[in-house]
Amino acid sequence: MQITSKAYTRFFAGLFFALLLVSTARANTVTGSIWENDSTGANDATPANVPGTTPDVTFTATTPLDFQSNSLYTIGQFLNSQAGTTVLTGSGQLGNTLDNTLFDFTGTVSVTNGETFTAGHDDGLTLVIDGTTVINDPGATSFITTTETYTGPTGTESFQLVYGECCGAPADLEISLPLSSPVPEPSSLLMLGTGLLALGGGVRRKLFS
């Protein structure tokens, strides 16, 4: 029996959903945390100064990171300067000042020994990949560009980027990080396989009904 246009529509709609599922599972982002009123970390942006307390704001962002406050100087205005940033917790803090804030970004990157990283920043930052400090410029500064070379192992590694904003507008952070694309989780693959089997069965029933 000939497949009807309705069966085709259902099949390709289901296939689109399955592909969307895989795409979502593979998406990767940077996770960010913010602590307010932290003059120590804001003036010395190192992993050792990241508080062990619950952050005031958490969010996700895509790469390259490109946050520019210009003359705007609230947490929300800073985060909104980059498209693709999603606030997870602490939305009530977005109207607060950026002054004396400490940011901690974490994620996973695919890196090569000898690869260079360039960051534009006002104020300080520290970039660590797989325990190797790549950029070490944690102190207060006007906007500068720092370029350093990664000397750690080639592969997929975790990273931590600590950024401090201490001393008045503007606040700027610009860096491109080669985020890795994780393989879809087994549960996602199982859902995909189940969905495709169901779709195939539906089309088969249309063929032979």
What does the pLDDT look like over 21-62, one tens digit per residue?
334 333 478 999 999 999 999 999 999 999 999 999 999 999
Which pLDDT belongs to residue 200?
Answer: 52
Mention every residue, 6+ apart, whose C-beta is less than 8 A from residue 92.
none
> How long a stretch of residues is the chain?
209
Which pLDDT belongs to residue 1?
Answer: 46
Which regions of the chain are under pLDDT 50? 1, 3, 7-9, 11-27, 183-190, 192-193, 195-197, 199, 203-204, 207-208
Vertex 122: Cα angle to 105 and 86 (nearest 5): 35
Which pLDDT belongs to residue 22?
Answer: 39
Which pLDDT belongs to residue 205?
Answer: 53
The angle that helices 186-208 and 5-26 make with each other, rounded to 10 degrees, is: 170
Which pLDDT belongs to residue 137?
Answer: 97
Q: What is the topology classification, in CATH, of domain 29-180?
A: Jelly Rolls (2.60.120)
In angstroms, rounded to a whole number, what is the distance separating the alpha carbons of residues 37 and 99?
8
Helix residue ranges, H only, the chain = 5-26, 39-43, 75-80, 186-208
What's the burial of 29, exposed, middle or buried (CB within 10 Å: 0-12/13-18/19+)?
A: middle
End-to-end Cα separation, the chain, in angstroms = 7
Which pLDDT belongs to residue 194?
Answer: 53
